[in-house]
Amino acid sequence: MNIPRQLPTLLSLLSLLLVIGLLLQGCTKAPSEPPAENGGRPAMIKFVAAEYSTATKPFLENLVRDFKSLNPNIDVELQVMNWDILLSVYSTMISKNPPDLLTMNGYAHYVADDLLNNMEEIVSPELMNKFYPHYLKSDRVNEVQYVLPFVASIRGMYYNKDIFDELGISSPPRTWAELQEDASKIRDTHKMDGFGVDLSDNEIYAYLSYFFFGAGGGWLKDGKWNINSAENVEGLTFLKELYDKGLTDAEPTVTSRDEKQRILGNGKLGMLISGNYFSAVVPKEFPGLRWGTGPIPVKEGVAPFSFGVQDVIMSFKTDHTDKEALSKFLDFFYEDSRYEEFMIREGFLPTIQTVGESMSRNNPEMQGFLDSISKAEFYPIVKPGWQSVMEGSRKMGEAVLLGQMTPQAALDQLQQIAVSKGP
């Protein structure tokens, strides 16, 4: 059946408008119970969560249902949203009808606007002591714990072993020269893409990080923005050169990381940088896949590095904030067995020490991941300008690849965006 080209776009627009309407009215609500016996109204928790996979929504729906059965005087309104939609509507949502709890990949701009509760005034001491200290330390602004670590991942190079074996490539590339050489072999011999690159909206800042740190640079230097450093420009220039030489996939700004993982699983892509969740997701869809993993390649002479990503959970100040109810809900979510189940389903690294110990006993690879992430580089999410930098970077990927902006000009622009929000 032929569908007019305009129809999908119209349907997408209508869907987005519907989501915005739902958010402004209130989130999807768990079945309500009568008011408490003392005549008071039930406490209210509006919880907006990012969707990581098809497992996210059913898990959280069951969690809310179980919590409600044990706490009939606390209503929980749950909204699980695809990352693309969440990132497009969160500003409107927070300005009009902020949730009590939100999972997100940045928060310091909310701190600057005095929108967040202090988590130390909400979370029980028992729960706070369960988190790995290195996460808590990275989630503080001016010594105040405004967010809690929610989930984490460690990034690395994932590759198709069958393709590497056929070409006599004994190990994944550790340097940029090896990356270029291996990608060339894969392209020339198998007539397929050697290296998958994701410069789409939700992942471009990840790939910038890989090549910034891989060149010996980074987002910050001595705590201040350093986006347009010579090292970072060199890293982005090398990434563009890989694209210009045909060593990456043809559409870095179009196909997402998840799509590229499926292409690799289907034997049509040699390698890509992804997170440890790869091992929980891709082999299930492609059970015959022989895959391996290695470090993120670096420029010759640069020390190897680990790169981690964490999402956080925050609490907004609302006209119905109930800190006791929030504390109960967070205790319930982070209970060891329940939180471990969530980590296993999504393929993430835990931020709770006892859960990390349990998962390491059942999975020897887990301890290596946990060791790596304790020393890893991260996004500068404590900087108020980080959200603006992420938004600015989404607009530059295609412009750089197509030669509409030089790497230097693009990073100069990002630097200006960053410093306009503070040092």
Residue written as token pair 């471009």: 204
Quick one: 100 and 194 in the same domain? no
Task: Report yes or no on 353 lying in a domain.
Answer: yes
- Residues spanned by the domain of 358: 27-150+311-367
Quick one: 315 and 283 in the same domain? no
Task: Report yes or no on 303 lying in a domain.
Answer: yes
pLDDT on residue 35: 38
Quick one: 143 and 213 in the same domain? no
pLDDT on residue 40: 63
Per-residue pLDDT of 73-100, as tens digits, reads 999 999 999 887 887 777 778 878 899 9
Quick one: 392 and 265 in the same domain? yes
Q: What's the per-residue H, E or C state across 154-166?
A: EEEEEEEHHHHHH
Quick one: 361 and 394 in the same domain? no
CATH code, 97: 3.40.190.10
Whether residue 197 contacts residue 270, with contact meaning beta carbons closer than 8 Å, is answered with no
Quick one: 198 and 277 in the same domain? yes
Quick one: 113 and 178 in the same domain? no
415 backbone dihedrals φ, ψ, rounded to 5°: -60, -45
Task: Report yes or no on 9 lying in a domain.
Answer: no
Quick one: 139 and 161 in the same domain? no
Task: Report yes or no on 412 lying in a domain.
Answer: yes
Task: Report yes or no on 375 lying in a domain.
Answer: no
Whether residue 241 contacts residue 179, with contact meaning beta carbons closer than 8 Å, is answered with no
Quick one: 48 and 116 in the same domain? yes
pLDDT under 50 in the chain at which residues?
1-20, 22-39
Task: Report yes or no on 97 lying in a domain.
Answer: yes
pLDDT on residue 19: 45
Per-residue pLDDT of 278-323, as tens digits, reads 998 899 999 999 999 999 999 999 999 999 999 999 999 999 999 9
Task: Report yes or no on 376 lying in a domain.
Answer: no
Quick one: 346 and 408 in the same domain? no
User: Rounded to an integer, what distance in angstroms lies between the CA atom of residue 376 and that of residue 138?
Assistant: 11
222 backbone dihedrals φ, ψ, rounded to 5°: 55, 35
Token pair, residue 360, equals 């390491």
Task: Report yes or no on 19 lying in a domain.
Answer: no
pLDDT on residue 5: 32
Q: How many domains does the chain have?
A: 2
Kindly report the pTM of this predicted structure.
0.88
Quick one: 350 and 232 in the same domain? no
Quick one: 261 and 402 in the same domain? yes
Give one DSSP letter per residue of 368-387, joined into a string.
HHHHHHTT-B---TTSTTHH
Give the domain-ending residue among 325, 343, 367: 367
User: Rounded to an integer, what distance in angstroms lies between the CA atom of residue 8 and that of residue 29?
Assistant: 29
